[in-house]
């Protein structure tokens, strides 16, 4: 049965199975596994751990893992299983790392968030009013080359994996702003790809090297790296997969893509264990100043006085009625979801190397029951 269908079915099943009375009892730490047993059972039943890609997830409360499971294979051909230390492509969860790198540089006065982007990236000189802050919170209005004919033509002509500098160079002569910068929100992968180039030009380091030296290494994220080249091998990493269109039980590797070399909006690999260190760093502000953190996690005010619920690399909106800092990711055969609940001291991380998976539903389902159960 389709992984995605099963995930949706187990959500309905859990809602019918778990009684309200069981959620109102004062928290017994040892009862968490029992409370979430229907979730565990349905995920386990939806995955053949010996023949299919899988999913790995954790819930962390007050810094301690209170719920974690890992099912399926990281590499079907080799028969290696997913584990908490398996590096997985994060897709758009990478944006938070890009934003963090920019904030570190801003804290060090190496750049200013309200500076026009063209002062660092002259290729954007036609968009003089676009600032770094606009790129961070998706309010720049720069056009999206990913859906344009110019990008398709460029790729077909060059017959090679593109890089950020190649795409950003398109802006010298192509495209117009979609709206006045700062006037509204529009999710923009190109915006974060420009940010990655800013990191490289200001730091004079490759994007991946900067993330390693300023984020991964200080936090002890030993299974994290940036894959910016098809020849780069991420040790013990998961491959992405999709279901075969022709054979019901066959999985096809869905990992390589000509856009894999474009960084900033994606490109980061990390393990579940490493992301636990990452969420704790976000909570404790161990990498940036308190003032910078406040800017990152405050909804941005638009020109008309309304607000957008996207901060710097994170969505800022409620999940199941509780304030949350969260994001999802989807690229080739990978699906990811993460959420931090600051007032509840709870973090939930879900990673999958199957394009059929829906980590967002799983994350939110786990959150719904834990948020009702956990008490100080």
Q: pLDDT confidence of 27, banded at 50, 70, 90?
A: very low
Asked if residue 229 has pLDDT above 90, the reply is: no
Report the DSSP beta bridge partners of residue 67.
Answer: 59
Q: Give the contacts of 231 (CB within 8 A, at least 6 positions apart).
A: none
User: 253-278 pLDDT, tens per residue?
Assistant: 999 888 888 999 999 999 999 999 99
Percent of the chain with pLDDT over 70: 89
pLDDT for position 105: 98
Helices and strands (H, E) in the chain, number of each type: 14, 15
Asked if residue 283 has pLDDT above 60, the reply is: yes
H helices within the chain, ranges in order? 3-17, 20-24, 32-35, 37-46, 94-107, 132-136, 149-158, 164-168, 189-203, 207-211, 217-219, 272-284, 290-296, 359-373
Range with the lowest mean pLDDT among 55-64, 127-136, 159-168, 183-192? 159-168
CA distances for 216 relative to 64, 169, 206, 213, 353, angstroms:
20, 29, 14, 7, 22
What number does CATH give the domain 3-373? 3.40.710.10
User: Mean pLDDT, to the nearest integer, of 363-376?
Assistant: 90
pLDDT for position 258: 82
Pairwise CA distance, residues 297 & 276, whole Å: 19
Q: How far is CA 124 from the centre of its chain?
A: 26
- The backbone torsions φ and ψ at residue 81, rounded to the nearest 5 degrees and listed phi first, read -90, 155
pLDDT for position 161: 72
- The backbone torsions φ and ψ at residue 273, rounded to the nearest 5 degrees and listed phi first, read -60, -40
Report the DSSP beta bridge partners of residue 315.
Answer: 310, 326
Q: pLDDT confidence of 23, banded at 50, 70, 90?
A: very low
The chain-wide mean pLDDT, for the chain, equals: 89
Asked if residue 362 has pLDDT above 60, the reply is: yes
User: Mean pLDDT, to the nearest integer, of 185-195?
Assistant: 98
pLDDT for position 301: 96
User: Mean pLDDT, to the nearest integer, of 219-231?
Assistant: 89
pLDDT for position 123: 96
Q: Give the contacts of 307 (CB within 8 A, at least 6 positions apart).
A: 299, 300, 301
Pairwise CA distance, residues 269 & 331, whole Å: 12
Q: Give the contacts of 88 (CB within 8 A, at least 6 positions apart).
A: 56, 82, 237, 238, 269, 270, 271, 272, 334, 336, 351, 352, 353
pLDDT for position 155: 55
Q: pLDDT confidence of 13, banded at 50, 70, 90?
A: very low
User: 155-168 pLDDT, tens per residue?
Assistant: 544 556 788 998 89
User: 91-108 pLDDT, tens per residue?
Assistant: 999 999 999 999 999 999
Query: Is 49:81 a contact under the CB 8 Å cutoff?
Result: yes
Q: Give the contacts of 329 (CB within 8 A, at least 6 positions apart).
A: 90, 91, 92, 93, 94, 266, 335, 336, 337
Using DSSP bridges, classify how beta strands 241-243 and 251-253 pair: parallel, antiparallel or unpaired. Answer: antiparallel
CA angle 14, 15, 19 (to 5 degrees): 95
Asked if residue 347 has pLDDT above 60, the reply is: yes
Instruction: Transcribe 308-349 into DSSP letters.
Output: ESB-SSSEEEEETTEEEEEEEEEETTEEEEEEEEGGGTEEEE
């Amino acid at each position: 049965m389709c992984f995605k269908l099963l995930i949706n079915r187990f959500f309905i099943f859990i809602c019918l199975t778990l009684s309200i009375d069981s959620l109102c009892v004062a928290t017994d730490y040892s009862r968490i596994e029992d409370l979430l047993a229907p979730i565990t059972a349905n995920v386990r039943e939806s995955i053949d751990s010996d023949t299919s890609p899988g999913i790995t997830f954790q819930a962390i409360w007050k810094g301690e893992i209170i719920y974690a499971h890992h099912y399926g294979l990281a590499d079907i051909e080799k028969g290696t299983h997913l584990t908490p230390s398996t590096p997985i492509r994060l897709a758009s969860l990478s944006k938070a790392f890009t934003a963090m790198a920019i904030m570190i540089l801003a804290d060090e006065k190496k750049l200013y968030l309200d500076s026009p982007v063209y002062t660092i990236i002259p290729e954007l000189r036609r968009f003089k009013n676009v600032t770094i802050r606009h790129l961070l919170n998706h309010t720049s209005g720069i056009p999206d080359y990913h859906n344009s004919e110019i990008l398709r033509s460029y790729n077909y002509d060059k017959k090679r994996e593109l890089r950020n500098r190649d795409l950003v160079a398109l802006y010298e002569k192509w495209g117009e702003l979609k709206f006045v910068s700062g006037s509204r929100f529009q999710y923009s992968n190109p915006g974060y790809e420009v940010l990655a180039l800013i990191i490289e030009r200001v730091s004079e380091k490759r994007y991946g090297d900067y993330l390693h030296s300023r984020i991964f290494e200080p936090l002890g994220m030993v299974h994290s790296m940036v894959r910016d080249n098809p020849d780069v091998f991420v040790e013990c990493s998961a491959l992405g997969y999709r279901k075969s269109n022709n054979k019901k039980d066959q999985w096809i590797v869905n990992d390589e893509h000509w856009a894999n070399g474009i960084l900033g909006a994606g490109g980061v690999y990390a393990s579940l264990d490493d992301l636990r260190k990452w969420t704790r760093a976000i909570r404790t502000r161990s990498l940036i100043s308190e003032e910078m953190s406040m800017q990152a996690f405050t909804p941005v005010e638009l020109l008309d006085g309304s607000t957008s619920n996207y901060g710097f690399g994170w969505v800022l909106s409620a999940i199941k009625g509780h304030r949350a800092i969260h994001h999802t990711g989807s690229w080739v055969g990978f699906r990811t979801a993460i959420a931090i609940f600051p007032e509840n001291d709870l973090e939930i991380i879900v990673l999958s190397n199957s394009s059929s998976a829906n980590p967002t539903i799983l994350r939110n389902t786990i959150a719904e029951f834990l948020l009702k159960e956990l008490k100080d």
